[in-house]
Structure 1
């Protein structure tokens, strides 16, 4: 089982879950983005090292259609405009497939924006967002969270996002078919503990790799985070900004830190929220993940046991043991579902993902309570299966998947190919179980790394996050109760980037994955003061103060 991948905003989670549950149950520069001319039509100047058709391109912005299934299978209509009537515009950006061969093959990246109402004199530039993954579609996500960022747009920023290479409409990685993916999750619904289950796992892995190579083989060597950062710099140039002004969340923080390492003199006002751990030690990183999710589960259980309808016992420790036992029972006998159109059962792995998904937001805790109560009292797994589907980018009605999961694998294996063998990974099982009795037995499998026959065997751009010499400091945000990117990882990233002067850290005492979308007044004031006025908080600022 892969560890948590995609940032899901609080607003998106609440809206989608409410609707689907109902269906189921019945200090910087004053002007950071200077450019001349009209913001929508002036061609860019040449870009060093690339042919003119790339360096001088001018995106053709048009009204956005509905996101494709590869971006968001739940979407059925074009994105709704913002409250002041501003609509979302979409365009394509042409980039080299291989930056070492700029005259060679190209690919198209999907872009989206909402234009600031500010005059040309008051406009700050483009603020580019990446919401995480790797594998998440920015074109699908930004409109769902746009109102949360509208103060920044009103203050002078055009809000811009994109599907990174290998994601969604930007040549999204395609491997197995939707039906094949469903069949695989039903055939092997638990960690492969027996010899027979391991034979099934080996066969499924071979089938997955063969499908990835057959459907996306030419793309796989080129979807690294470093190449996505190079795309960001071409995007910055084409949008007309002297520096990249950027808001990255979750994996988006890794992308932003990589950009700062590659292009330090082009770093503009930057916020990195829910910062990933920069460690290249998979055991340390995996244990941090397990501890983070267990910590978030404990916080949920501390709240749950105070409620009269908590299904998980009377104390947090009792609740954690109950959930662990529940997953163990599912390994032996999955739960039936009553309303899944595909007739799937709730396996242990699907339930594990559904449980973990609710820890990304305190507002989602209520759905975990409902899902566990349904399993305990009714012996069915509809809601936990639905939670898994939403998290995994699967339409629970049609069965269509986004490219999120294969994109995650491809990007991860382009950045850090190889990894431990199964035997080497399982040697750490006791450590993972000690870190989390609920999540450890599943997360230890993430150590096994990329398949032996994955076509990328050597990273062209090993990760490096040193941002010493960046033109502007990069503000890091960390949440004390974050399950997926625990605060300890943010502290290590600060040091990897060059310390508090380069990357000052703001800690928010809260729950969930990411601080800004919590709409905590202290966080909003600190971040907006930086992005709008160039006033960055001091290192080790705490919210609330």
Structure 2
């Protein structure tokens, strides 16, 4: 099981991190966002297209434009905007600080539940031509921007690190910023093992019980915070951080869900946008069901690419015929459902954990060799390697402790949009479309649509477009075979933004910048350092 928006950058930043770009609810939790609709990702767009109309993902009827907030800062918020950051050394060469923000922007201060302290980290620029602060966010929701900034501050292209302070702010509810809490580690273990594709009434009941327990645990342990972790509120927090950093405009690089957060900021504060890069883009104009269905197609596309690569290797565990690789995977899943494979520490690999491990490896093609080995071992009854991939996805450490990634993931997603389904009957009605989009993964992502059905707080958001009228050029990056944020989403977002500029990476994996493409890195570096926009229609390989 899992959440509903996950980002591969979260996993790549360190050995302990997970996978994903948005994860999907109880059942999966692997994805990059909420959504629903007519399988745009199954109908792979042309890599040469430089823009799109709303028809590329068929905007849902509820999608209305996100409106900008008034330019003037309200008097009640002035104390937050005028605070000074007190930096101190931390984390081996970085500096840390905290920023206060109101829990409730409509009622700042004690009347709205008091303040939230956001954890902030930076790696200072060390070149002679300093350009200011570049905020970064890896996605999730739930991924730690503090952890990611510490990764980016040591690994981003040298010219960018020389010119910018690399800054990470854990969004409210995440990591060092009053984290959402839901389950004990042992109960989280049980949650991840629930059947993601129930075929019996008993299996459906077990999944619903798990969803209910998760929601009740979050209500018990997180209280009022659950009603104030929306993306809109986190975007408003970023504007407070911008002011505290002394920046007249926000320079920002967001990945996966971080693109949704950045686009939301641009929609609320178009006149305060500086240089903005949205990499591995989500489409805010589609609802949860559509997003989940299109994401199922994205993972199927990624698995097909893995199968083609695997077929060229000796001893490929899914066979030499890529067209039959799905059958080989299905056979393994069926065998593990009947007889889980022994793994480390007395644990075992069952079908739900195996599927999560496979999906986790789809985020980054450099993990395909590890996946080949893990699948081959699982076929021989040894579950440890594939279970390790699943643990990375969930951010479960060797001692059995989980980060709050999945808890924040669910909390943000369930607040941002209504549940994709509210009854098992609705899911069963949706199943054929999901299974058509992805024979291997579709059913699990369909059942993930129930994950917010029992949430203790009513959703405050809905699908919407983001025109961000008046913002300067915003670079939207899409990868053609991205599993978690299908390429059509980048096309759609670039088309919605009044100043959107689409940059395409024709390749595999989730997100593109700082992942090995010199063409992508050069284009984005030129934009960040000199404001030079990528050539219209540019496709990198």
TM-score by length of 1: 0.84
320, 328, 353: which one aligns with 2:326: 320
8 Å contact 2:395–2:405 — kept in the other structure? yes
Q: Which residue of structure 2 aligns with residue 70 of structure 1?
A: none
349, 354, 357: which one aligns with 1:354: 357
- Structure 1 residues 539 and 456: CA distance shift in structure 2, 3 A: farther
Alignment of 1:26-45 (within 5 A): none
Deviation at 1:157, TM superposition (A): 0.9
Alignment of 1:72-221 (within 5 A): 78=91, 80=92, 87-104=93-110, 105-119=114-128, 122-186=129-193, 188-221=194-227
Q: Which residue of structure 2 aligns with residue 519 of structure 1?
A: 516
Q: Which residue of structure 2 aligns with residue 443 of structure 1?
A: 445
Alignment of 1:308-457 (within 5 A): 308-337=314-343, 339=344, 341=345, 343-377=346-380, 379-395=381-397, 397-421=398-422, 422-452=424-454, 454-457=455-458
Q: Which residue of structure 2 aligns with residue 531 of structure 1?
A: 528
- Is the counterpart of residue 482 in structure 1 residue 482 in structure 2? yes
Alignment of 1:261-276 (within 5 A): 261-276=267-282
8 Å contact 1:324–1:437 — kept in the other structure? no
Q: Secondary structure at the match of 2:239?
A: helix
Q: Which residue of structure 2 aligns with residue 466 of structure 1?
A: 466
Q: Secondary structure at the match of 1:123?
A: coil
- Is the counterpart of residue 543 in structure 1 residue 540 in structure 2? yes
Distance in 2 (CA, whole Å) between partners of 1:539 and 1:444 is 37
8 Å contact 2:285–2:465 — kept in the other structure? no
Q: Which residue of structure 2 aligns with residue 43 of structure 1?
A: none
Distance in 2 (CA, whole Å) between partners of 1:261 and 1:49 is 22
- Is the counterpart of residue 224 in structure 1 residue 230 in structure 2? yes
Greater RCO, CA 8 A, separation 6+: 2
Distance in 1 (CA, whole Å) between partners of 2:449 and 2:88 is 44
Distance in 2 (CA, whole Å) between partners of 1:430 and 1:352 is 19
- Structure 1 residues 511 and 132: CA distance shift in structure 2, 3 A: same
Q: Which residue of structure 1 aligns with residue 59 of structure 2?
A: none
Distance in 1 (CA, whole Å) between partners of 2:3 and 2:302 is 15
Q: Secondary structure at the match of 2:478?
A: strand
Q: Which residue of structure 2 aligns with residue 503 of structure 1?
A: 500
8 Å contact 1:261–1:464 — kept in the other structure? no
- Structure 1 residues 292 and 371: CA distance shift in structure 2, 3 A: same
Q: Secondary structure at the match of 2:307?
A: helix
8 Å contact 1:127–1:245 — kept in the other structure? yes
Deviation at 1:519, TM superposition (A): 2.6
Count of matched residue pairs:
483
Q: Which moved more, 1:237-246 or 1:322-331?
A: 322-331
In angstroms, what is the RMSD of aligned CA positions?
Answer: 2.1
Structure 1 unaligned regions, length at least 5: 18-45, 65-77, 81-86
Distance in 2 (CA, whole Å) between partners of 1:298 and 1:207 is 35
- Is the counterpart of residue 491 in structure 1 residue 465 in structure 2? no
Q: Which residue of structure 1 aligns with residue 83 of structure 2?
A: 57
8 Å contact 2:293–2:437 — kept in the other structure? yes
Distance in 2 (CA, whole Å) between partners of 1:463 and 1:439 is 24
Distance in 1 (CA, whole Å) between partners of 2:3 and 2:431 is 15
Distance in 1 (CA, whole Å) between partners of 2:418 and 2:222 is 17
**Which digits, 9 at most, give the CA deviation of each residue in 1:298-357, with x for residues without a partner?**
1111111111121111111221211022112322332221x2x2x222111111110011
- Is the counterpart of residue 286 in structure 1 residue 301 in structure 2? no
TM-score by length of 2: 0.85
Q: Which residue of structure 2 aligns with residue 39 of structure 1?
A: none
Distance in 2 (CA, whole Å) between partners of 1:363 and 1:4 is 23
**Which digits, 9 at most, give the CA deviation of each residue in 1:244-296, with x for residues without a partner?**
10000000000011011100110110000000133333343222111111111
- Structure 1 residues 417 and 519: CA distance shift in structure 2, 3 A: same
8 Å contact 1:289–1:485 — kept in the other structure? yes
- Structure 1 residues 509 and 14: CA distance shift in structure 2, 3 A: farther
Q: Secondary structure at the match of 2:277?
A: strand
Deviation at 1:426, TM superposition (A): 1.9
Q: Which residue of structure 1 aligns with residue 53 of structure 2?
A: none
- Is the counterpart of residue 233 in structure 1 residue 247 in structure 2? no
Q: Which residue of structure 1 aligns with residue 263 of structure 2?
A: 257
Q: Which moved more, 1:130-139 or 1:284-293?
A: 284-293
**Which digits, 9 at most, give the CA deviation of each residue in 1:132-180, with x for residues without a partner?**
0000001112222433324244442110011100111111110111111
8 Å contact 2:13–2:151 — kept in the other structure? no
Distance in 1 (CA, whole Å) between partners of 2:395 and 2:159 is 28
8 Å contact 1:258–1:463 — kept in the other structure? no
**Which digits, 9 at most, give the CA deviation of each residue in 1:427-484, with x for residues without a partner?**
12122112111111211112225123x222141x445442342331110011112111
Distance in 1 (CA, whole Å) between partners of 2:250 and 2:10 is 26
- Structure 1 residues 245 and 505: CA distance shift in structure 2, 3 A: same
Q: Secondary structure at the match of 2:8?
A: coil
Distance in 2 (CA, whole Å) between partners of 1:199 and 1:287 is 23
8 Å contact 1:290–1:440 — kept in the other structure? yes
- Is the counterpart of residue 298 in structure 1 residue 299 in structure 2? no
Distance in 1 (CA, whole Å) between partners of 2:221 and 2:15 is 34
8 Å contact 1:354–1:388 — kept in the other structure? yes
Distance in 2 (CA, whole Å) between partners of 1:470 and 1:51 is 24
